[in-house]
């Protein structure tokens, strides 16, 4: 379980972390390296992402970053 945060910490702190890719754990259990994978459909659909964001805000009752979304 301690390794679960490695990709998140890498994404938040490393200059090598790229945007537009999935950062996840290595496929091998013993390997602590972060895996980079391209984002593939439907995960790369901006309209679907906007709809998901909208539904999540409506269901949770929490509005976040509304001023930044155009």
Tell me what pLDDT residue 36 has.
85
Q: Which of 36, 25, 69 is CA-nearest to residue 51?
A: 69
Task: Determine the pLDDT at residue 28.
Answer: 76
pLDDT score of 69? 56
Residues of the chain with pLDDT under 70: 1, 66-70
Distance separating alpha carbons of residues 17 and 9, to the nearest angstrom: 10
Instruction: State in Å, rounded, how far the first CA of the chain is from the last one.
Output: 38
For residue 64, the model assigns a pLDDT of 80
pLDDT at 56: 93
Number of helical H runs and strand E runs in the chain: 2, 2
Domain positions in the chain are 1-39, 41-70
- pLDDT score at 27: 72
């Amino acid at each position: 379980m301690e390794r679960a945060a490695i990709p998140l910490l890498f994404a938040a702190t490393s200059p090598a972390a790229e945007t537009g890719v999935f950062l996840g754990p290595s496929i091998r259990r013993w390997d602590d390296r972060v895996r980079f994978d391209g984002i593939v459909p439907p995960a790369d659909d901006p309209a679907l992402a906007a709809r998901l964001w909208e539904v999540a805000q409506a269901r949770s009752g929490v509005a976040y970053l509304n001023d930044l979304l155009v």
